[in-house]
Chain A
């Protein structure tokens, strides 16, 4: 089966210029809400499984937290004079959890499914639908149980901020969600690009592993990467694969005072988010062009 257009959006567009414009132009918000509701219905059908999933991912968060609190029994901060004391780092950790839980809830199940769709040829059905394929593929299923980590992060954030001498100002609080959004966008771009490579590689079972290893670099304040090996690493993961700005920028914004902000880097983060989305969109289109259905 030959796919001419990389995106079925144009197909929908052509038709919508025709006789029935209103009925064929999809409402993206409406579709998204339907996806969300369907996923919730599905999750609630196997309720005890849902609860077990929540508990296990919370346990995992708890163990992570335990590890860092243990480390801080032995050292006052991460690095010398970096400002990352125990509570500052807990804000950092909560930020990591916010971003990861959003990515895991909205995109992770779909990226895994995407590789599977390509392998089995079921992607045909997605291509035929009169809606943007990337939108359909990326948000089809929502893992509600991953949002339990989001709640955990809210708790952790409240606990850590309560130990601050000076609470963050209005500008910081307003910008924080914006940068959380940027972080999610960068990680999403990375994930969908990785998943799209299964068009060329045939199968992509190590996707999750690879994802884990790359995002591993985003888990700590960027100051720790220094020296002969650290500085090039830091440069690479800031400017080439911008995973270092994902958590660092929003966390720094909230945890450290205004004087300690890296404003140029914060500006760069906005740019990186937009650029990542654009690049991933190109990779996705390319992948669809190379897709040869496996079903018929």
Chain B
């Protein structure tokens, strides 16, 4: 919106255009801020549920700790501690704990299915009519979701990590920590754009839930959430390491544990960034093409 001010009038046409541009940007920022605030408030309604749910999510780790303990015990011989795919017992448990952090960034519960549902029931029309960008809107919603989640989950996470501190051999170097944080942020973006792209498939197929289930299954098995993908043998392992899924859980955790270093680390981060770009583009393109073939009826 343009506000008439005496100073701009004297500057002539270019000044007016600048003012329009500037106030336009401010209006847009205000819109985004409002969206973020609404989402934040929405999320805080269920904070009690959140905190309890977060703590419960660590329970399977208790059985995993004992299971791996027994596996390593069977392998142990006198002398040095046994390793599996290069992981000692402590590192293995630390890995599982770290993937919980990774999943806290990269998992997007319900994103793809919500997009597909909105396409199917026609709710998507509002993004076509109102001057709000669907992908931007959803991204901000997720940022708000995650921010609230971290605030509420910080307590349970801190508690669990404190109790399990003996599985870690200390804090990594600041540069490693920085790379870890960078890859976590990118894993959030990758998770978002990947799921958004999947949701856009709803423009072509009405029912995508079984497709999403297959994706979830693959993602669970191949992202490193279930086990470090270093364990996968031969050709199969090579294929899995070429997929973008590993950046959702395995990659950040492996950085923290110092399994990926030096040149390999730089390349890994660049590849992750590349995958983010690819899926950001795909989500956009799918939305553009989808809207072209979409037809909405009724009010």
A67 proximity list for chain B (CB < 8 A): 221, 226-227
Contact of B73 among A70, A74, A80 (CB under 8 A): A80
Pick out which of these stretches binds chain B: A110-118, A132-140, A212-220, A247-255.
A212-220
**Chain B nearest Cβ from A246, distance in angstroms:** 14
Q: Judge whether A38 is part of the interface by a CB distance below 8 angstroms.
A: no
CB <8 Å contact, B71 and A75? yes
Looking across the interface, which residue of chain A has its beta carbon closest to that of B233? A73
Looking across the interface, which residue of chain A has its beta carbon closest to that of B231? A70
Q: Judge whether A275 is part of the interface by a CB distance below 8 angstroms.
A: no
B56 proximity list for chain A (CB < 8 A): 206, 209-210, 213
Looking across the interface, which residue of chain B has its beta carbon closest to that of A63? B221
B69 proximity list for chain A (CB < 8 A): 224
Interface residue total, chain A, C-beta cutoff 8 A: 32
B interface SS class: helix
CB <8 Å contact, B221 and A66? yes
Pick out which of these stretches binds chain B: A25-33, A52-60, A286-294.
A52-60
Complex Cα distance, B214 from A52, in Å, reads 11
A75 proximity list for chain B (CB < 8 A): 71-72, 74-75, 84
Known contacts A59-B217, A67-B227, A70-B227; 15 further A-B pairs (Cβ under 8 A): A52-B210, A67-B221, A70-B231, A71-B227, A74-B71, A75-B75, A76-B74, A77-B74, A78-B71, A80-B73, A80-B74, A80-B76, A82-B70, A210-B56, A220-B70
CB <8 Å contact, B63 and A79? no
Complex Cα distance, B221 from A103, in Å, reads 25
Complex Cα distance, B233 from A54, in Å, reads 29
Complex Cα distance, B75 from A163, in Å, reads 22
Q: Judge whether B60 is part of the interface by a CB distance below 8 angstroms.
A: yes
Q: Specify which of A70, A74, A213, A230 lies most central, judged by the most chain B CB atoms within 10 Å of its CB.
A: A74
Q: Judge whether B137 is part of the interface by a CB distance below 8 angstroms.
A: no
Which residues of chain B from 178 to 227 have any CB-CB distance to chain A below 8 Å in the complex?
Answer: 210, 213-214, 217, 220-221, 226-227
CB <8 Å contact, B59 and A223? no
CB <8 Å contact, A220 and B74? no
17 contacts between A and B (CB under 8 A): A60-B217, A67-B226, A67-B227, A73-B233, A74-B71, A74-B85, A74-B231, A75-B72, A75-B74, A78-B70, A78-B71, A206-B49, A213-B59, A213-B60, A220-B70, A223-B70, A230-B66
Complex Cα distance, B231 from A80, in Å, reads 22
Q: Judge whether A225 is part of the interface by a CB distance below 8 angstroms.
A: yes
A70 proximity list for chain B (CB < 8 A): 227, 231-232
Q: Judge whether B294 is part of the interface by a CB distance below 8 angstroms.
A: no
Interface residue total, chain B, C-beta cutoff 8 A: 30
Complex A-B, nearest 6 residue pairs according to Cβ-Cβ distance, in ascending order? A79-B70, A224-B70, A213-B59, A224-B66, A74-B84, A75-B71
Contact of B63 among A73, A206, A219, A223 (CB under 8 A): A219
**Chain B nearest Cβ from A74, distance in angstroms:** 4
Q: Judge whether B53 is part of the interface by a CB distance below 8 angstroms.
A: yes
Contact of A220 among B66, B72, B73, B84 (CB under 8 A): B66
Which residues of chain B from 57 to 88 have any CB-CB distance to chain A below 8 Å in the complex?
Answer: 59-60, 62-63, 66-67, 69-76, 84-85
**Chain A nearest Cβ from B65, distance in angstroms:** 9
A221 proximity list for chain B (CB < 8 A): 70
Which residues of chain A from 21 to 75 have any CB-CB distance to chain B below 8 Å in the complex?
Answer: 52, 56, 59-60, 63, 66-67, 70-71, 73-75
CB <8 Å contact, A78 and B227? no
Complex Cα distance, B59 from A77, in Å, reads 24
Report which B residues bind A (CB closer than 8 A).
49, 53, 56, 59-60, 62-63, 66-67, 69-76, 84-85, 210, 213-214, 217, 220-221, 226-227, 231-233
Looking across the interface, which residue of chain A has its beta carbon closest to that of B58? A213
CB <8 Å contact, A217 and B63? yes
A79 proximity list for chain B (CB < 8 A): 70, 73-74
**Chain A nearest Cβ from B277, distance in angstroms:** 30
On whether A206 and B53 interact (CB within 8 A), knowing A74-B85, A79-B73, the answer reads yes
CB <8 Å contact, A56 and B213? yes
A66 proximity list for chain B (CB < 8 A): 221
On whether A216 and B59 interact (CB within 8 A), knowing A74-B231, A224-B67, the answer reads yes
Complex Cα distance, B72 from A76, in Å, reads 10
Complex Cα distance, B156 from A182, in Å, reads 36
Complex Cα distance, B15 from A175, in Å, reads 90
Looking across the interface, which residue of chain A has its beta carbon closest to that of B82? A75
**Chain A nearest Cβ from B246, distance in angstroms:** 16
A82 proximity list for chain B (CB < 8 A): 70
Complex Cα distance, B74 from A217, in Å, reads 20
B233 proximity list for chain A (CB < 8 A): 73
B227 proximity list for chain A (CB < 8 A): 67, 70-71
**Chain B nearest Cβ from A111, distance in angstroms:** 18
Interface string of A170-196 (1 = CB under 8 A from B): 000000000000000000000000000
Which residues of chain A from 73 to 94 have any CB-CB distance to chain B below 8 Å in the complex?
Answer: 73-80, 82
Complex Cα distance, B227 from A73, in Å, reads 13
CB <8 Å contact, B220 and A63? yes
On whether A225 and B66 interact (CB within 8 A), knowing A63-B217, A206-B53, the answer reads yes
Contact of A78 among B74, B84, B232 (CB under 8 A): B74
Contact of B75 among A59, A74, A216, A219 (CB under 8 A): A74
